[in-house]
Each structure stands twice: as structure tokens, then as C-alpha cells.
Amino acid sequence: MAVHEVERHAMTRALELAARGPRGANPQVGAVILSPAGEILAEGWHHGAGTPHAEIDALSKLQGDAARGATAVVTLEPCNHTGRTGPCSLALIDAGISRVIYALDDPGVVSGGGAERLRSAGVEVEAGEQADGARALISDWLTAQRLGRPHITVKWAQSLDGRAAAADGSSQWITGSAARADVHRRRAAADAIIVGTGTVLADDPALTARDGDTLYEHQPIPVVIGSRETPTDAAVRRHPHEALFYAAGDLQSVIADLHERGIQSAFIEGGPTLASSFIAAGLADRVLAYVAPVLLGGGRLALTEIGVPTISAARRLAVEEWVPLGADMLAIATFEDNESDHNEGVR
């Protein structure tokens, strides 16, 4: 059965509602309940981990049998498992919903399968309505589900001869203002920004995302990795978000903890040592390499040891785009060999 125009409008509204929810361990999801006549009976969205899912949030605003025979329009397939909350597919069945329209399939092995459960109970189900819009809204969450960890971007700035700093360690600024502005825009799109204690002690970065002197509305959570103590007056301690500190050691454990905290995307800006460690550990999905038309010479390379003993073991990337930024050039490339299929949903 085709999706009606009023249901399309309801999905547009559901996507707007979903965007109100916080980014985190759970996806942003919105729901609209329509009467058999096409009138909106209730709306809801997911307010964060541990709170009712969007469908339950909407149903909770109805009394008695008000949902019987109604249509539920949801941006993600109703879940089919009991986690911190019960399965939404069962709640919709119990409420008497007769038709469900959703945008995207739930990718979780555990949480997926809600559509099949609904159909088995006699509920009419339509999938794929405005799937592109729903996918764009929760693309980072979907990627984190596929990888089983946050999507990780490693960024560095380098001279044309591959140096990250001059012989005396100075590096501000290798690239020009257009490149630096681009970095801040990309920081603002990330959930976390990660550096090592060496960078904190050498540069005292604020780790904020700025448009000139103005902070972007969204700020990445600052993360510092290393065994050395961060000074009490360090700029990172004045960040809008409380910084997370991890001792030097197993990067896998750090990333697992960030994933548990709901971090979907991380931006590595910690200098050659940290950048190389993430790449060597197979924890880099994308590279942003800002290349300036200057020569520095010396030994301060943009990357150090990444576990490549011979040319046959070279880490090869696919360049997605070359972006001119004033006199500089940005290479955006991906490590396609790092992706895995960890699809355990967390809704």
C-alpha cells in the first residue's frame, strides 16, 4: 500500500522532532501518531539514553484506546528488544496501532526485527519513506554501529616536504587562515577532539571550535591522552565541556569508553605521536592532511612509526577530495580496510 501525502508530511514532522533529541549512544528518533482520518493525535522523540523511545513518548500522551486503528510514523524501525526500555514494536501492537511507516531499518542485530514482529501481529508496515533524510540525520550513529566504535578522523598540517614543525618545534602557523578556519568548522561537526599531553604542554590549546573569536554552537568534548599531568590553569580546563583525561596506554580501551559515553565521531589533533599511534592501531577511518607550500626540512615529520616495515605493507588510502584553501591544499582520504561489522544496536 502506498504512503499517503498526509503520512509524508508526518514523516517530515517526525524528522524535525528527532533533531530535538541529543546525540549520544542512542539514535535521534522522532514519531508522529495519526488518526485514521489523518489528524495528528500525538508526537514524541527520544530524549536520551534511558528515557522512553520516540514511539513510547508519543503513545504516553494518549489515553485509553485513542491509538487503536491509528498510524505510527517513525524515523527508525521500531525496536524489537528489551534494553533499558521495552520493545517499541510490542508497545505499538498493544496500543492497537494498525499501520506503521518508518524511514530506516534498525541496523542492530539485537534491536532490529521490529518490522517483522509488527507484520506477524497483523500490523501493516511500510519502510523507506524519506530514508535519505533520516540517514543524514543519524549518519554518525549508523557509522558508529557499523564500526562498533566512534568514527575517527586523524588531522594534521604539514609542509610540502612532510614536516609538522620546524627544527625548534615551532608550528604556528604552517597553514594559512583559510585552512585554519576549515579545521574549526570540522571540529564543530565532531563529538570529541583528542590530543596528547605533549600537545597540551607545548601549545596549551583551547580545543574549542571557533568562527573567528566566536564559539560555534556545538563544541566537541575535549579528550587528553597521556601520563603527564595537565596543568590546573591549562586552557583546555576552561572548555565549555569538562575535559576527559586518560592515562597513556591502550587506545582501544580509550575508544571503547568514549563509545560507551555516546561519542559517535572523534577528531584526532594530537600531533605526530598520537596521530601515528591511532593509525598504527588501525583506529583511523579518515585523514585530513592540510598541506602548505612551504619547506621546513629537518626531522619533525607529520607522522612517525605506523607499523609499515616495507613498501608492501604501506597503508593505502582512497582520496575522496582535494580541497583548495587559499594557498594550501586539503587532502581528504579514507582507510577503507578498517571497517568492521559490529551491529549490536543499543536502543
d(CA 186, CA 268): 11
Cα R_g (the chain), whole angstroms: 23
The DSSP-derived string for 147-208 is HTS-EEEEEEEEETTSBSS-TTS--TTSS-HHHHHHHHHHHHT-SEEEEEHHHHHHH-----
Give Cβ neighbours of residue 347 (< 8 Å, ≥ 6 apart): 26, 27, 29, 53, 76, 79, 81, 83, 106, 108, 111
User: Residue 186: phi, psi to the nearest 5?
Assistant: -75, -35
Catalytic site residue 43?
A: no
Q: Which of 16, 39, 43, 55 is catalytic?
A: 55
N-to-C CA span, the chain: 28
DSSP category for residue 40? E
Annotated catalytic sites, by residue? Answer: 55
